[in-house]
Structure 1
Amino acid sequence: MIRNLSAFVLSIVLVVAGAHQNVFPEGDQYSYEFSNNVFIKDFKNGRPVAYRLVGTVHVANILTVDDEKLLKFTLDSPQLNVRPHGSDSQTEFNYHKSPLDNYKNNDFYAVWNLGNISDIYYDAKENAALTNVKKSIVSLFQYKTSEGVYTENRASGRCEVSYKDTAHTAIRRLKQNCVLETKTPRIVRPEQPLQASAQNYRSTDYKFFPDGSIEKIESRDYFHIALEANREIGGSIDSLVVLRTDGHLTKVSRADSKTPKEFLSQLKNYKGETLETSPQILDEPLNSNLKKAIKEYEDALATSNIGTVQSAKAFLNILPIARIAKTEEIVPLLKAKKLQEIKPQILDILGAASTVDAHEAVKKAINFHYDAEVDNVERYLQALAVGVRPSPAIILDLLKIVDDESIVEKVKTTIIHTLGSTARRFAQSPNQNYFSDVVVKVQNYFNDSIAGCTAAPCFVQYLNGINNLQSIHFIEQLFEYVNDTDRSISVAAMKALGSFPASVWNQKHIQRFEDIFYQVENTFDSSVRTLALDIVLNSKLTEEQLKKLLSHLKTTDRAFEVKKYLLEMVRMFSAENDDINEKAQRIIKSDSELNNYHIIGQKGLTTALSRKYSVRSPFNATLISIQEIFGGILKRGGVDLTIDSPKSSYSYFTLGLYSGGLTSFVSNSNDENEEVSDEAANAGMEITVQGSYLRPLQFFSGQGELMGHVWSGTASEPTPAYLANTVLHDHHESLQLQNGATVQIDIESAMSIDLNGAIQLSLWGRNAQIQVNKNVGLYIAGKILVNAGFVTLDLRFSLEKEPKLNLNTDVDFSSENILCMQLSQPDDVFRYEMEKNQIIPEIRHHVKSIKKFKYNIVGITHYLNEKNNEMCNKIFAA
C-alpha cells in the first residue's frame, strides 16, 4: 500500500513539479493520431455543414541542450474528409480529394523549453494553409503544469490563459481575449444593440502518462455568434482537435549539431515565425461598376419604393461598390438626366459610403450655393451624418465649406449638424477619442462660433450641432444656456444635455437637473423641466430621489401638465423596471396623502407610454410616445423608436412634433403658473436619426402663415418628414481558431424609411389631430465563414421585414379638454432565409443547402390605458 501511495505521489510530482524534465527524452519519437472536426450550425436545429481533417503527427526530440529540446514534427498523410450529402450523422465522414493532397509537406521544427515554444520553423515554400495547420499543432505542445493565469502567444494570437488541474494526471487550459499581432480590419458599431456578439469557449485538456509525457490533447473552440438585439439570429462554430497516442516509442537519430540554433540555421529554405497563424481572408468577387449596379437596381431605388425591403436591399447591394468607386465614375451618374428621379437615393448611398472620392464627386456635381439644389445637398449631408464610417478628411473639408458665406443658409445649418454627428462618430471609432485632432478642431469651431452669436437662431443652430457632437467639453456651457431667458435657447441647451448617455452624469449633475425640475433658483419653461426630469429618471434613481419626485405631486405647483408628465413617466418606467415599480409602490402605500385619487389621478392631457412593437423580427424594438400638452394643445410630442438588447437600448429614429404661441387661439383657461408666451404662432417637426439631430421642418411661423394654412387646407396634409435609406448593422471582423482556420463575420443591414407627420388644427371646430405614419423596409444580410484555405464552410442568412406604425392623436378643446391616442400596426410578414455552403476550391466541389422561413404577423391596435379609452369614446361619440 505504501508503495502504491508512493507511486501516486511520484506521478503528481512528475506531472506538476518537475514534469517538464521528463517529457520528450532525446532520441524518442511519439506518434499521435490527429483529427479536427469543424461544424457550422444554425439556431434552427438544421443539418450542420462540416469537414474533418485527419492525419498522423510524429513528435521527436532530436537534440537536448540543458533545458532546450529541439522537437521535430512530421504531419503524415493529411486528408480532408467530408460528410456524405444528405447525411444526418455527426460522425460519418468520407475522404474527399482536395488541394491538400498536392501541398508540399516537409518536416517542421520547434525549440521546446520547459513547456514554452516561441517559434516554429518550416519550409517557406509550403502553402500558407498547411503552415497554419502545423502552427496549430505545435502550439498545442506549449503548456504549463502549474495552476495560474498567464499571457501566451498561441496559434490564435496573444491570449490570456489560465491552467487548472482536473486530475492528478490531467490539466485544463482556458484561453480568452486573444489578440492578433497581424492586424486584420475590424469594423464594429459602438452602439451595443447594433453589434453581433461572438461569445466563445476555448479550452484544451491534457492527459499525461505517469512519466509526464503527453497521452492525449483535446482542444475545442466554440463560438456562438448572434445579433445582440435578437439572440436567435446567427449561428455557431464548433472545432475539436484531438491528438492521441498509445504510448509506443520509436527511436530516431540525434541531430548532428551542437545547439538547436545551429541546426536550424543549416536548414535550406526554412524560416522561423511565431505561432500566430496567418488569416485566410476570402475576398469574394465584387462588381466594381457603379453605373451597372445602379442601372440593375434602378426600379428598386424609385422614391415610391422607399419604406420597403426592395429599396433597402438595393441600397445595401450597391453600397460596397460605391465605397470603391472613383470620383470620375460618380460625377456622370449624378448629372445623368435619366437618373434624376433616383438622385436622392444615389446621394443616400454616397453619404453612407463616406469616401473622399464620393465627397468630391458630390461637390463637383451639385452646387452648394444654389437654392434649387438645397434638397439634394441636404440629402447627402444627412446621409453623411448617419454614416457609420466617418472620414477625417471629409470632416476637415466641411469645416472649410461651412465658413463660405455664399452657401445657402439651410445648407450651412445642416453642415453644422453634420459636423457634430461625424465628429462624434469619429471620436467613438477604434483608437480615436474626443482628443483626436480632427474632433478638437470641430469643438473649437463650435466654441468660437457660438461665442460670436447675438441672436437666438444663431445660438440654437450651434447648440443643435453640440447636441450631435455629445462632447463633455460643453457640459458646463450647456448648463449656462439652460438658464437663458430666451425659451428657444434654453430648450435647445437642455435637449443637447439630454443627448448624452446616462453614464456621463454624476450625482452632482443629477442634483442640478433636479433643481431645474423643481425650479429651486429660477423658473423654467415646462419643456425644460420635463427634459430635465427625463435625465433624472434615466439615472440610477435612489428611493429617496423617487420619493421626492412623487411628493412633488402633492405640491401647489400650478403647472398641472408638468405634474401629469411626472406621473405618466413614473408609471412608464415602473412598467419597464421592477426595481422602480417596487420603490414607487412602497412609497405610495406608505403615504396616505399621496395614495389618494386627487393626487394619483392628476388632471391634464399629457401622456407617456412605452410599447413593444416588434418581438419576432431582427429586432426587439420598442416605441416610446410622449405627448406634452400645454393649454389644451400639443406643445412637444415625440415618437421614439428603439432597438433593444438585454444590456441597453438604442434610439434609431425619433420624430418630434412641436407647436407654440397657439394657446391664445384654443385655451379655455390659464391656470398654468407660467408666463403667457408672447412667441409667434408656430409648429413644426424635428427628426433625430441614429443620434443625429436634423434641421427641423417648420410647418408655419407666425399668425399669417397659420391662417394661410387654415384657409388653404394645407395644414391637414401629411408632410413627408424623412425619406431615406440608411445603414444599421456594419459588423466585420475575423478571428483565428486553434486549428489555424480563419473565421469571418460579416453582418450588414439597411433600413429604408418613409415617415410623415402632420398637425391639423381647426380654430372653428376647436379641435386638432396629430398624425405620425411610419413605413420601414428592413433588410439584413449576414455571413459566418470558416476558411481553412483548402476548404471553406459558411452560413449565410438574410432577413426581410416591412413594419408599419400609425399613431393618431385627436384633441377636442371645444368644452373640456379631451385627448385620444390610437396606436396601430397593420399586418406584417417576416422572412428569414438561411444558406449553408461547403466549398473545396480548385476542384469545383460545392454543396449548398437553403432553408426559408415565413412568419405572418397579425396587425394590432395597442391598448394604452383606460383613461385614454374613455376619452376616445367621448370624441368619437360626438
Structure 2
Amino acid sequence: MFFKKLVKCPNKMLPSISSYSFLYTLFAWLLGFCYGFVLLSSAAGHNAGVRLFDVGSAVSYKLHSTLLFDENEESTKDVGFYIDADVVIEAVWENDEQRLLKIELKSPRLHIKSRKAPTPDGFIPHWSKLEELTNKPFLMVWKNGKIEKILLAKTEEVSMVNLKKGFASLLQIQLSEGTVDETDASGKCTATYTSQSSTKIVKTKSNCTSDDFYRVNNPHEFLRVNRNSFITVEYEADSSKTYLNSIVARENHVMYLPIKEDIACRVKSEQILSYVSSEKIRILEASTVEEAIESISKTEGLIFTQETLLTERESLDEETHSFTKQVDSLRGYLDAKDLGSLKPAKAFIKLVTTARRASKDDISKALSSKKNKGILLQLYDILGYAQTKDSHEAVMKSIHLDNENQIEVSERYLWATSFSSQPNPDIAENLLKQYKKLTNIPPKIQETLVLTLGSMAYKLGKLPDKKLHVKIIRDIEETILNNLDYAKGENKFVFFRALKNLHSPSTITVLLNYVTNGTQKEGVLAWKAIKAFGPDLWDERIQSAAVKAFFQLDRKYDSSSRTLAADILIESQPNDRLLEDILNFLIGTDPAYEVKQYANRKIGMLADEDNTIRARVQKIIRKNPKLNNYHGLAPRGLSLALTRRFMSNPYSNGSLVTVQEMKSGIAKRGTVDVVLDKHGFSKELFSVSILYIFIFIWIETIALAQQVRIPLITFLRFVLTRKAVEVAETSVSRRLYTQFPTGHRKLPFQPVSCYNSLDRSMPKYTSADRHYRYQMIFHLDSLK
C-alpha cells in the first residue's frame, strides 16, 4: 500500500500499519489514489456575473480532507485520518474564456485518529513519507468550468499524480444550473447543479462509473452487497464573484447486505477548501496555450505530460502476496472438519483474493506441494471461485477431466466453479471445448460438467455486461439441447437438469414438447425445469400446459407432473375462476387423492402467508356448500406443503418450505426449499431433496426446536446425522401414547391444516391428522 510505505507508526499508537491499510486505500480512492467509490467530488457553480480565476491573480487556500470509517451504528467508534495542505492557484494566461492555471500543493500533512489525541475530534499529527514525495507544480487548462487538459511533472510517482487529479477534479465546475455528464477522478458521473443564492450553488453527483473500477455484481438479489451513496458539493463565491470562497464536498457511502441490513459499514468523507488570501501576479506573454505551457516548462525546469482526470492503477507490491505463501500461513484454517465455520470462511476470502492476483506457476506450486495434500479439495474450492485465466490453467495442468482417478477433485473444482457469482466466460468456453473434445470423460464428471456449464451460462446472462457473453451462452444452450435430442432413455435426464440450471426462456418450447409428448419421467423433469424458471417466465403457454396437466384435459399425466403443475398455477396468483376450479377439483371424482391433498395443502400454505389469497379462498368456500363442510375439505392423503420460519428480522424473512408428495403410502417426492423473502419478493436460496424418514423428522423438529428454543444449526446438524435415523426407528408411537394419552391436543406443535382458520364451522383435528402426527413426532431427549 502507498501509505504503508509512507507511515512509520509505533505499535503503541496503532495495532499495526496493515490494520489501517484499508483506510488508507479508501482515502486514496477519495483523492484519486486508486480505484474505488469514495472519490472527491467536483463542484462549483455560478449565477450571472461570476468570473472565476481572473488572469493575473493568485489565490491561496487551505485544504482539509477527512475520511472516517465505521459500522452502520451510531454507538460504534469510527476510525480514520485526515490530510491538510496549502494550495495556491495562479491564473497565468488567458485567451477568451480559456485559462491556464498553475497549481501548487504545498506541505501535505497526515493526521491519524488516536485515543491519545487531546482534541475533541481525536486526531493527532503523524509523520509520513507523504511529505517527502516529489511534489512539483502542475498545470490545468480550464474553460467555462470544464478542465480540458491537466499536465503533471513527468518525474512524479503515481500516488502523487492521483492525489493531484483528485484535487483538480474539485475545480471542474458547471457555471449554470442543470444536469450534465462529467468525467473526473470519480469516473463518468451525472452531475446536477442547483442554485442556492446569488453566490452559492450545490452539485449532486450520481451514477459514477469507471472502466478501471472493479465492482462485483452478484446476480442473487439477497446475497449481493448494495451501496447507498449520497454525494454533495457546495460551492460559494466571494461577494465580487471573482474567486472561490469555499468548496465543501461531503460523501456518505453505506454498504449493506439486503438480507440483513444491519450488517453494514459506512464511509464518510469531507473535503473543505477554504479561502486564505489573494494577490496579483505577472501574466505570461504567449499567443497560444501551448506557448504558455512551454514557457512555464522552461522556467520551472520541468517536463510535463498530458493526463486525463481519470486516476491510474498503482502497483501495490507489498499487497501482492504469493498464493503459495498465503496457503502456508492459513493451512491450519482449512481443515475439512472446520468447514462451515467462521475460521475457514475468513481464510477462504483471503485466499480467493490472493488467487485472483497470483500467477499460474505460483498456483501450480501450491497444488503440487505435498504439504497441501490434506487440504487439496479446499484449494480447488478456492480456485473454482477465483476463476482467472491463470488459476484455471493451473488447475487444468493439475487435473484431467478424463482421468478416472481424479473424479473427486475434478467434481470439487467444477462444483465451486458453478457456484461462483462471477463466472469467467473464457473458462466456460474452455470447459465447453473439453466437453465436446474429450470422448472418455467418466459419467460422473460428464454429468457435473454439463450441469456446471448450464449454471455458468445462466449467471453470465445475469451480469451487467451480459451482451458480451451472448455467443458462449448460446453455444452452451445449443450443446445441451443437441445432446438432449441425441440421448436415449435415462441418458436424457442429466440434460433436463442442465436446462433447469440454464433458465433460458428459449428452451420453454422444447420443454413443453416433452411435457406433452415425452415419457412420464421426461415430463416430470421438464416440469421441474420450467418451475425453476420462476413466475416471471411462466407465460401463457406454460399456464395453459399446466392447466391441461393438472386437470388431465388432453391425456393422463404422472402425479408428480400434476403436483408440479399445481405449484405453477397456485404460485402464479391465479384469477378467481381458476382458483375456484382448483378448489372444486378437491370434491371431484378424480381418484388421485394425493394430488388433491397436495393442492389442498399448497393453497393453505399460501393462504397462511397472504391475507388476500386467504380472503379469496374463504369467499369461494363459503359460497359453495359442497366445499364448505367436513366431507369436502377433510384430508384424504399424506401429501403436504407447509412453511416454517427460521429467520425473521425487520429487513427480510427466511422460511423452510417443505413439500412432500405421497403415492400409495410411500413418499414419491420430497424437498425442502430454503426461501428468503424481502418486501414481498421471494427468492429460493437452495433446495434439498430428502428421504421419506427425514421429511418427517424435518417438519416436526422445526416446530419442536422453536418450542424449546433450539438453535437452527443444532437442528440441521441433527437432521443430517445417523442419530436421526436411530430416533426414527424407535417405538415412537408407544412413547407418545405414554406422554400424551389424551391425543395430540397437548402436543407442542398443532397439526397443519390449510383451512383450520378459514372457517370456524370446520373441525380442527381429524383422525387422519392424529394418526399422521403420531408417526412423525419423536422424542427430544436425543437432541441433548
TM over 0.5: yes
Going from structure 1 to structure 2, the CA distance change for 1:600 and 1:616 (only over 3 Å counts) comes to: same
- Is it true that 1:874 corresponds to 2:774 in the alignment? yes
Q: Distance in 2 between matches of 1:364 and 1:96?
A: 49
Query: What is the DSSP-based 3-state SS (H/G/I as helix, E as strand, rest coil) of the residue aligned with 2:466?
Result: coil
| Structure 1 counterpart of 2:601, one-letter code | E
Pair 115,416 (structure 1): closer, same or farther in 2 beyond 3 Å: closer
User: What is the rounded CA distance, in whole Å, between the counterparts of 1:546 and 1:284 in structure 2?
Assistant: 65
Tell me whether 1:220 sits opposite 2:250 in the alignment.
yes
Is 1:190 matched up with 2:219?
A: yes
Give distance in 2, aligned partners of 1:540 and 1:338: 57
- In the other structure, the counterpart of 2:195 is 165
Q: Which moved more, 1:251-260 or 1:337-346?
A: 337-346
Following superposition, the deviation at residue 496 of structure 1 comes to 1.3
Match of 1:628 in 2: 661
Deviations 1:777-800 (Å, cap 9, x if unpaired)? xxxxxxxxxxxxxxxxxxxxxxxx
What does the per-residue CA deviation read over 1:556-583, in whole Å, with 9 as the maximum and x for residues that have no partner? 4443332332333333334444554555
Superposition deviation, residue 226 in structure 1:
1.5
| DSSP 3-state at the match of 2:146 | coil
Task: Show structure 2 runs of 5+ residues with no match.
Answer: 1-44, 702-711, 738-747, 754-764, 779-784
Task: Work out the CA distance in 2 between the residues paired with 1:132 and 1:531.
Answer: 58
Identical positions, percent: 27
Query: Structure 2-normalised TM-score?
Result: 0.76
User: Using a 3 Å threshold, how does the CA distance of structure 1 residues 87 and 518 change in structure 2: closer, same or farther?
Assistant: farther
Contact 2:219 2:421 in 1 (8 A): no
Alignment equivalent of 2:228, drawn from 164, 180, 199:
199
Partner SS for 2:147: coil
Instruction: Name the CA shift for 1:143/1:308 in 2 (closer, same or farther; >3 Å).
Output: closer
1:330 and 1:126 map into 2 onto residues whose CA distance is 35
Alignment partner of 1:489 out of 518, 522, 527: 522
Partners of 1:641 and 1:618 in 2: how far apart? Answer: 17
Q: Distance in 1 between matches of 2:247 and 2:498?
A: 58
Shift of 1:223: 0.4
Q: Which amino acid aligns with 1:164?
A: T
Displacement of 1:237: 0.7
1:398-547 matches, cutoff 5 A: 398-401=432-435, 404-433=438-467, 436-453=470-487, 455-539=488-572, 546=579
Query: Residue by residue, what CA displacement relative to the aligned partner does 1:260-311 show, whole Å, maximum 9, x if unpaired?
Result: 3421244231223222333557565455253x66566666545444444455
Does the aligned pair in 1 maintain the 2:115–2:122 contact within 8 Å?
no
Post-superposition shift, 1:654? 1.6
The alpha-carbon distance between structure 1 residues 465 and 433, as it changes in their structure 2 partners (threshold 3 A), is: farther
Pair 1:611 & 2:673 matched: no
In structure 2, give the amino acid aligned to 1:385.
S
Query: Contact (CA 8 Å) 2:322, 2:358: kept in 1 or not?
Result: yes
**C-alpha deviations, 1:706-748, integer Å up to 9, x for none?**
xxxxxxxxxxxxxxxxxxxxxxxxxxxxxxxxxxxxxxxxxxx
**Structure 1 496/29 Cα, relative in aligned 2: closer, same or farther at 3 Å?**
same
The structure showing larger relative contact order (alpha-carbon pairs under 8 Å, at least 6 residues apart) is: 1
Distance in 1 (CA, whole Å) between partners of 2:136 and 2:408 is 65
For the residues of structure 1 that align with 2:409 and 2:749, how far apart are their CA atoms?
38
Matched residue, 1:559 = 592
Q: 2:680 and 2:418 mapped to 1: Cα distance? A: 26
Number of equivalences: 686
The DSSP-based 3-state class of the residue aligned with 1:118 is strand
How far 1:200 sits from its partner (Å)?
0.2
- In 1, the alpha carbon distance for the partners of 2:49 and 2:316 equals 42
1:277 to 311, 318, 321: 311
- Which residue identity does 2:465 align to in structure 1? N
Q: What is the deviation of 1:222?
A: 0.9
Comparing 71-80 and 570-579, the one that deviates more: 570-579
Structure 1 contact 395–422 (Cα < 8 Å) conserved: no
Deviation (angstroms), 1:759: 4.4
Shift, 1:147, TM fit = 2.7
For the residues of structure 2 that align with 1:221 and 1:468, how far apart are their CA atoms?
41
The structural deviation recorded for 1:202 is: 0.7
Q: 2: CA distance between counterparts of 1:459 and 1:877?
A: 39
Q: What is the SS of the residue equivalent to 1:212?
A: coil
Query: What's the CA shift for 1:476?
Result: 0.6
User: 1:524-566: per-residue Cα shift (whole Å, max 9, x none)?
Assistant: 2222222233334444655665555445445444433323323
SS in 2 for 1:531: helix
AA of the residue aligned to 2:483: S
1:865 correspondence with 2:752: yes
Q: 1:499 aligns to what SS in structure 2?
A: helix
Tell me how far 1:356 sits from its aligned partner: 5.7
Q: Give the number of the structure whose residues are more often helix, by fraction.
A: 2
Cα–Cα, structure 1 residues 379 and 179, in superposed 2: closer, same or farther, change >3 Å?
Answer: closer
8 Å contact from structure 1 (residues 359, 394) kept in 2: no
8 Å contact 2:428–2:472 — kept in the other structure? Answer: no
Which structure 2 residues correspond to residues 389-400 of structure 1 after superposition, within 5 A?
A: 389-391=422-424, 392-393=426-427, 395-400=429-434
Q: Corresponding residue for 1:209?
A: 238
Aligned CA RMSD, in angstroms, stands at: 4.2
Q: Which letter maps to 1:473?
A: S
Name the SS for the 1:381 alignment partner. Answer: helix
TM norm structure 1:
0.69
Return the alpha-carbon distance in structure 2 between the equivalents of residues 219 and 98 of structure 1. 25
Q: CA deviation at 1:53?
A: 1.9
Report Cα offsets for 1:176-230 as digits up to 9, x if no partner: 111125x243333221222111210011112233433433221111100112222
Q: Which residue of 2 aligns with 1:103?
A: 133
CA contact (8 A) 1:395 1:419 kept: no
Deviation at 1:640, TM superposition (A): 1.6
Task: Give the superposition deviation at 1:83.
Answer: 3.0
Structure 1 residue 78 displacement after superposition:
2.6
Give the equivalent residue in structure 2 for 1:240.
Answer: 270
Preserved CA contact (<8 Å) 1:426 1:433? no
Q: For residue 533 of structure 2, give the secondary structure of its aligned residue in structure 1.
A: coil
User: In structure 1, what residue type is equivalent to 2:205?
Assistant: K
Mapping for residues 703-722 of structure 1, pairs under 5 Å: none
Which residue of 162, 166, 177 maps to 1:136? 166
Residue of 42, 50, 67 corresponding to 2:97: 67
Compared with structure 1, are the counterparts of its residues 433 and 532 closer, same or farther at alpha carbon in structure 2 (3 Å cutoff)? farther
- Alpha-carbon spacing, 1:326–1:142, altered in 2? closer, same or farther (3 Å): closer
Q: Give the Cα separation in 1 of the matches to 2:609 and 2:340.
A: 30
Aligned-partner Cα distance in 1 for 2:271–2:362:
49
Name the structure with the higher strand share.
1
Contact kept in structure 1, 2:204 and 2:233, CA below 8 Å: yes
Question: Are the aligned partners of 1:230 and 1:620 in contact in 2 as well (CA < 8 Å)?
Answer: no
- 1-side partners of 2:121 and 2:346: how far apart? 39
Cα drift, residue 135 of structure 1: 2.6
Structure 2 partner of 1:383 = 416
CA gap of 1:277–1:343, structure 2 versus 1, over 3 A, is: closer
Per-residue CA deviations over 1:814-840 (Å, capped at 9, x if unaligned) read 9x9xx99xxxxxxxxxxxxxxxxxxxx
Counterpart CA distance in 2 for 1:88 and 1:655 is 58
**What amino acid is the match of 2:528?**
K
Aligned with 2:291 (options 242, 262, 267): 262
- Return closer, same or farther for 1:142/1:354 CA change in 2, 3 Å cut-off: closer
Q: CA deviation at 1:40?
A: 0.6
The alpha-carbon deviation at position 319 of structure 1 amounts to 4.1
Deviation readout 1:73-113 (Å, 9 max, x if unpaired)? 33333322223335597634332222221233333332332
Question: Residue type of the partner of 2:71?
Answer: D
Q: Helix, strand or coil for the counterpart of 1:420?
A: helix
2:69–2:267 CA contact under 8 A, matched in 1: yes
Following TM superposition, by how much is the alpha carbon of 1:493 offset from its aligned partner in structure 2, in angstroms?
A: 0.9
Q: How does 1:575-594 map to 2 (within 5 A)?
A: 575-577=608-610, 579-581=612-614, 583-584=616-617, 594=627
Question: For structure 1, which runs of at least 5 residues remain unmatched after alignment?
Answer: 1-14, 658-757, 762-767, 775-800, 821-860
Work out whether residues 132 and 277 of structure 1, in 8 Å CA contact, stay in contact via their aligned partners in 2. yes
Which of 64, 67, 74 is the equivalent residue of 1:35? 64
Q: Is the 8 A contact 1:118 1:275 kept in 2?
A: no
